[in-house]
Amino acid sequence: MKTEKINPALADLFKQLESEDRNLAHKALNKLLRQSGMNELLQLIGVLSSSTDEKVSKEIETWLANIKSKKAPAVFARALAAPEFVGIRTPLVRACWETQLDFSPHILLFVHFLLAGDYGLALEAFSVVENTCLEYPIPADQVIDIIKQLNSSLPDQPEAKQRLLREMVQVLEPYASVG
């Protein structure tokens, strides 16, 4: 995945994250999280993807959940669609709904995760779809198409996901009427 160029000072902090000295790495992470912007978002997601340090992972996840830039949804969607980030989709999707940003242009991506993901990913995607519909306009015809997708996939889903999909249909139905 192509990433944007970053500030050289931040590049040094990214290098320090790889240090064997965990104190140095954690200090670098704290500085990095305070100074990072949208240009560094994909790189921080990459750090999250490759990190074996639970403290580092949790700090990045918390930072991601608190992003308020209107540019972030497009970057999150790009990362979520990237094969190299499959292993961290659940925390990324969780961060999406925690940001409370407008993911309406990417709603079908989250519907896909609701249908194709494991139960944990589906539950997080459910929250994004629900929050998006509550806060941002989704065209009624698109909501109707989503409801059709959910209903048609019910027989192929395990019982727990069937309950989740039925609940999603109930959440979406009020938004399916043109009014």
Residue 38: inside a domain:
yes
Question: What's the domain range around 78?
Answer: 1-84
| pLDDT digit string (tens) for the chain, length 179 residues | 444 555 677 777 778 777 778 788 778 777 777 777 777 888 889 888 988 888 888 989 999 999 999 999 999 999 999 999 999 999 999 999 999 999 999 999 999 999 999 999 999 999 999 999 999 989 999 999 999 999 999 999 999 999 999 999 999 999 998 54
Residue 174: inside a domain:
yes
Which tokens hold the place of 30? 């704290």
Which tokens hold the place of 41? 């978002």
Residue 96: inside a domain:
no
> Do 106 and 30 fall within a single domain?
no
> Do 173 and 123 fall within a single domain?
yes
Residue 90: inside a domain:
no
Residue 144: inside a domain:
yes
Taking a C-beta distance cutoff of 8 angstroms, is the pair 137, 178 a contact? no
* Cβ partners under 8 Å of residue 11, min gap 6: none
> Do 17 and 46 fall within a single domain?
yes
**Cα–Cα distance, 117 to 62 (Å, whole number):** 23
Number of domains in the chain: 2
Q: How far, in Å, are 51, 107, 154, 170 from residue 160 at the CA level?
A: 31, 22, 11, 16
Residue 178: inside a domain:
yes
Residue 113: inside a domain:
yes
> Do 119 and 61 fall within a single domain?
no
Q: In 5-23, which positions are buried (b, 16+ CB within 10 angstroms) versus exposed (e)?
A: ebeeebeebbebbeeeeee
Residue 7: inside a domain:
yes
What pTM value is reported for the model?
0.86
